[in-house]
Homo-oligomer: A and B are copies of this chain.
Amino acid sequence: MTNLNSTSLINVAFQGEPGAYSEAALVDYFGKKAAAVGKPRFEDVFEAVEDGSCQLGFIPIENSLAGSIHRNYDLLREHSLHIIGETTLRVRHCLIAAPGASMDKITKVISHPQALDQCRGFLNRWEGGIKVEQVYDTAGAVKQLAETRNQTTAAIASRRAAELYGMSILMEGIEDDEANFTRFLVLSTEEVDPGKDAKTSILVCLKNLPGSLFKALSVFALRDIDLTKLESRPLIGQPGEYQFYVDFAGSIKDQKVIRALNHLEEYATLLRVLGSYPRNSF
C-alpha cells in the first residue's frame, strides 16, 4: 500500500503540462510529498498507475461550470483502480506578464478560450479596449511569454504557471464567476481505510422502467444515507438501460452501507464501487 507518510517522493501522474490547473491542484493536495508526472492523455494516467511507473493518479472528475468529465468515468469503469481521495480546486485566474511589464503597456491578452471566456467581464472593463488571442492551453500561453519576453502581451493562467516560468502576476482572481471549482480524484491500485467521515462513489446501471430509479434510491433513503451526487447518463445504443453516478456519505465498511448496496444489487444490472475515501466537501 502506498504510504503517504513515507519520506521518499511519490510519483503522481496527471494529464497536462507543468503549470496546468491539474498540476496546481495536485501540488496543493500533496505538498512536497509528491512529484507530479505530466501525461498527454487521461488513459496514460490510468496506465502509469497500473504498470507501477507512478504510485498514484490524479484526475479531474467534475467542474462546477463545465460538468462531469464522462471520459474519466468511462476510464474508472474500464480500469480497476480505486478512488482513495478527493480534493476541490477553486479555479483562480491570474493576469501574467513578463518581468518588467506593466498593466498600462499591455495591448493583448492570450489564453485558452475557456479561460478568456471566464474573464470576459474583466477584459471588457479594460480602459481603451484590449486585443484577445486564443491559444491551446493556459500554461502554454505563459511558456510563450517566457520565450518571447514580450512586454505588451499578458497571459491568463494559474499562479503556478507564472511561478514555474518566472513570470510576474499583474492581477489575481480576474474571473467573473467565483464559483468555478474543479473536483479531482486520487487513484491507486489499492484501497485505503476511508476513516469515519467517508464518502463512497458508485456506478450503477438500471433497467429503464418507470420507478426503477425510485426503487434504487429507496435503498439509501430508507437507511438515511445522504446522497452528495446523482447523475444519470444516457447510454447511447442501449435505450433499455440507464447508467448513474452516485456519491453518498458513508464508508464501504459501515454496516448500513453494506446493507444498502446489497439491497441495490436486487435492482441493478451493474454495480461498481469506484472507491470509499475520506470526504472533502465540494
- Write the residues of chain A forming the contact surface with B, with a CB cutoff of 8 angstroms: 41, 62, 64-71, 113, 117, 120, 134, 136, 178-179, 181, 208, 210-211, 213-214, 217-218, 220-221, 224-227, 229-234, 236-237, 239, 281-282
SS class, residues of chain A in contact with chain B:
mixed
Chain B residues with Cβ under 8 A from A69's Cβ?
66-67
A282 to B231, CA, bound (A): 16
Which 4 pairs across A and B sit closest by C-beta, in order of nearness?
Answer: A214-B221, A179-B236, A67-B67, A211-B221
Contact B67 A179 (CB under 8 A): no
> Are A136 and B117 in contact (CB-based, < 8 A)?
no
Question: What is the copy number of this chain in the assembly?
Answer: 2
Residue on B with the closest CB to A179? B236
Asked if B64 contacts A67 (CB within 8 A), the reply is no
Check B217–A214 contact: CB distance below 8 A. Answer: yes
Q: Within the assembled complex, what's the spacing in Å between the Cα atoms of A70 and B117? A: 14
Instruction: Tell me the bound Cα distance from A29 to B64 in angstroms.
Output: 30
8 Å CB contact of A64 from B64, B70, B117, B229:
B70
